[in-house]
Amino acid sequence: MKSTAGVSITLLTITLAVFFLSAGIAGIIAYQSTGSELSRALNKLLGSQPAPGSPGELIIAIGQLVAGLALALSPFIQFRGASSAVIHGVICAAWGLWIITRYFTADFLVPDFFRWLHALAPHLVVLVSLWVITAGQRKE
């Protein structure tokens, strides 16, 4: 029988899998929506900055979907050696990079400090959760 910590890490992994799967699916659906197509067409016509629904957003959504699938399978499939920890570490690093590009290089303190911090906090919870399951995988 698994220890309480092992069960907690498994539940956290499944919860993160649901988060990433749903975020990936929502991102793909939003990319293919009529509103996104119209916004991309207007941006192309006006030559403005890429809006939500850009190909970069689609790539992120696909990455989230793949991360969700990897996380969903990891409690049930035993990977050889440290490959499970490596997979979780890559997902953790990619999420950290996404946070940096989204909250520190593009929209730093926008619109104000407290709203920026409130938007950033849930993503930091996901990042720390990924870190915890990565560390838990290394111990096993």
Asked if pLDDT for residue 2 goes beyond 70, the answer is no
pTM: 0.77
In this prediction, residue 35 has a pLDDT band, given cuts at 50, 70 and 90, of: low
Question: In residues, how long is the chain?
Answer: 140
Q: How many domains does the chain have?
A: 1
Asked if pLDDT for residue 88 goes beyond 70, the answer is yes
User: What range defines the domain where residue 119 resides?
Assistant: 4-139
Extended strands (E) in the chain: none
CB atoms within 10 A of CB 123: 15
